Structure formats: structure tokens, C-alpha cells
Amino acid sequence: MSPPFDETAGIDTMTRLFRAHLELCRVRPGEKVTILTEGGQFAARVHAYGAAARALGAEPCHVDFRPPGGATDPAARLGNVGRSGLGADRAAMATLKASDLVIDMMLLLFSREQLEIQQAGARIVLVVEPFETLARLFPTQDLRRRVEAAERRLARARTLRFTNAAGTDVTYDIADQPILTEYGYADEPGRWDHWPGGFLATTARPRGVNGRVVLAAGDLLYPLMRAVSEPVEITIRDGMIVDIAGGAEAHALLDYIATYLEDEGIEVVDALSLEIEDNLAVGARDPLALVELSRNVRTAGIDVLVASACVQMPSLAALDPIERRTGIPTVSAASCTAFAMLSALGLDPVSPGFGAILAPMRLLALEEPAP
């Protein structure tokens, strides 16, 4: 294996490659090229991109975001994609929005800040991979031609079905959905791209994913960056994950999903997975079995108990008994769905007997402090 490229010693090599990249991005004399970094990272690349921009008559600018909690490595940021904190720096955002081209070395991927910069008309290219990878996968106009040809073909598709030998069989309703294309450079106002890139992607319509995804032993569980030791089966119904079954990696995946709630300021004290692989068996369960299962999770100091996060599992009949036993407001996917549907229809979301969320007076009684 070759040693990693020494970016500090290879400034001239990087400058030549970055100039060729800026030419693909159609950088013109007088344009403003802003290089975005976090916490002083990628210093050699900042120098090389700046030199490349000046060689083309453009005006280079460097924005180095300094978050209060310290810099986040781009590899680590992938585990928290879409959140950056950059929006709090108004001066930085103003500079980025006023740019013609932004070279993103911070990884703003899927963030609100990225969208705002694009809407202002700046084109953006994400560049965070090792230099040897960038050089090996340098974009070309032919690559763009192939990606755009694939885009036209995908635009005609209505559904996408994916299967594999491990047992995965999942179908996506992709009719009339937007398509993301990547070919490594951005030469049109408001365009975002990623170097290296060479693919296209789309998403399903709301509630348009159904089936199961099976991770086989040896598969990589990303972004946990660990190999699966035994099969993990993820069941998806109407666009939502309704069950994750398997061994240690299934539990690790559940813990990872719980961190999304924690990012919203909700602490997950405990979680329990039944690991039932048969969907019909899930739907046939006795809802009152949840009453006994609720004894197996820690409830001390919690504000709400989620009896079932699976829309397929019967749960409504168990909510009042659990609340009577614990004194804790208890919800489930079924009760929250009923609340949302009634509210959307302009009806009072009240149906006593199915948990506090559907019985406001009972919720107030549960929340009153004990005498």
C-alpha cells in the first residue's frame, strides 16, 4: 500500500489539480471563490485552492468556522450529517452567500445552511476525501454526460425494487420524485456537487417504501463502522421502520437511532426490542402483553413511556393499564397516529381509554404532583 499523500509537501501538485477542477467549474476572472473549513483543518488545501483561484484571475476567500465546542472532523460529522452550527455565524453566512463558488471542506451536506447558500445563487462543491482519491477519481465531461443520461432514464421510472441473496426485498415508489446528480463539479448557479462523484440518487414518495432489508454477516453497518456478525433484518412499512431484529448489531442500531431523539433534547433512558422477524406474528400479538413487558424497562424519572414504536403491533388496549400501573403518560405509534389523523381532519383528538394523549383530562391528572 502506498503511503498517504503528504499535502503539506505537495502544494504544487495539489494546486495544478485544483486549477483543473476550478476550470471545470467554469471559474471566471473576478469571481469570488470561498474555501470553507472548520477549526483550521485542511490548511494545505486552502493554500492550494487559493493559488489555483488566483491563477485563473478569481478572488479567493477563506472562511474558517470556529464552533464553540471545537472542530468536528469530517469523518465524524458523517454521523451527525445535516447539523453544523454554521448558521449562527452571520458574517460567515453572508460571505458564503455572496460567493460565486464555495469549496466545502466542512461537510455541510443536507444542512439548512447549504440550502441557503445555494438559494443565494452560489455553486458548491464538497471536497473532503484524501487527495490521492481526488486525483484518481478526477471528474470529466464524459462522466457528466453519462450521469445525465442515467438521470433521464431514472426520471421515466415509477418503482425501484431491490433484492439480494441475504433476503432483502424492498420496493420504493419513486414516481415523479426529484433526482440528485453528482459528477464532481458545479458550473451552474445554485448547483451542489461532490468531488469525487459519479452517480445519481432519488427518494421514495411519502410512505412509499415497503419491504425488508437484511444485513448479512460481514456486511458493514454504516455509520457505526462495524461488520455485522449475524443477520439483521429491518422491516419497513409505509415508509417507516417498524422493526429491527437480530443480534448485537441490531441493538447497536437501535441505540444509534435513539441518538436522533437525544439530538432533539429527548433523553432515551431505556429501550427494548422484541426481535420478531415474522410481520404476521407482530400483527397477531396480544396488545395486553405490552403491560407485562413494560415492567422490563427502566421508568424511574421518565416523563413519557413509549409502549410500542411499531405501527403494526396492536397496542391501544395496553396504554391505560400501563398508565394505571406506572402513573406515567404512555403513548404508542398507534395512539400518536390517531392523534395526528384526528387533528389533521379538524376533529378533537379525544378518545378516552387509549392513553393520555387521547384523553387530555387524564393527562392533566397524571401530571399533577402527588400530595
**pLDDT at 371 exceeding the cut of 70:** no
> Exposed, middle or buried, 94 (CB in 10 Å: 0-12/13-18/19+)?
exposed
Q: Are 358 and 347 in contact (CB under 8 A)?
A: no
End-to-end CA distance of the chain: 70
Per-residue pLDDT tens over the stretch 109-163: 889 999 999 999 999 999 999 999 999 999 999 999 999 999 999 999 999 999 9
Three-class SS string for the chain?
A: CCCCCCCCCCHHHHHHHHHHHHHHCCCCCCCEEEEEEECCCCHHHHHHHHHHHHHCCCEEEEEEECCCCCCCCHHHHHHHCCCCCHHHCHHHHHHHHCCCEEEECCCCCCCHHHHHHHHCCCEEEECCCCHHHHHHCCCCHHHHHHHHHHHHHHHCCCEEEEECCCCCEEEEECCCCCEEEECCCCCCCCCEEECCCCEEEECCCCCCEEEEEEECCCCEECCCCEECCCCEEEEEECCEEEEEEECHHHHHHHHHHHHHHHHCCCCCCCCCCCCCCCHHHHHCCCCCHHHHHHHHCCCCCCCCEEEECCCCCCCHHHHHHHHHHHCCCEEEHHHHHHHHHHHHCCCCCCCCCCCHHHCHHHHHHHHCCCC
Instruction: Give the number of other Cβ atoms within 10 Å of residue 167's Cβ.
Output: 14
Per-residue pLDDT tens over the stretch 179-190: 999 999 999 999
Question: Where residue 370 falls among pLDDT bands split at 50, 70, 90?
Answer: very low
For residue 129, give the nearest of 182, 188, 83, 90 by alpha carbon.
Answer: 182
Residue 50 has φ and ψ, to the nearest 5°, of -65, -45
Beta-ladder partners of 193: 125
d(CA 6, CA 234) in angstroms, rounded, equals 42
Q: Are 193 and 183 in contact (CB under 8 A)?
A: yes
Per-residue pLDDT tens over the stretch 33-53: 999 999 999 999 999 999 999
Question: Where residue 267 falls among pLDDT bands split at 50, 70, 90?
Answer: confident
**Across all residues in the chain, what is the average pLDDT?**
89
Contacts of residue 300, Cβ cutoff 8 Å, sequence gap at least 6? 269
- Residue-range domains of the chain with CATH: 11-136 (3.40.50.2300), 142-185+201-206 (no CATH), 207-284 (no CATH), 290-371 (no CATH)
Per-residue pLDDT tens over the stretch 273-319: 776 766 678 888 998 999 999 998 888 989 999 998 877 789 999 99
The C-alpha R_g of the chain, in whole angstroms, comes to 25
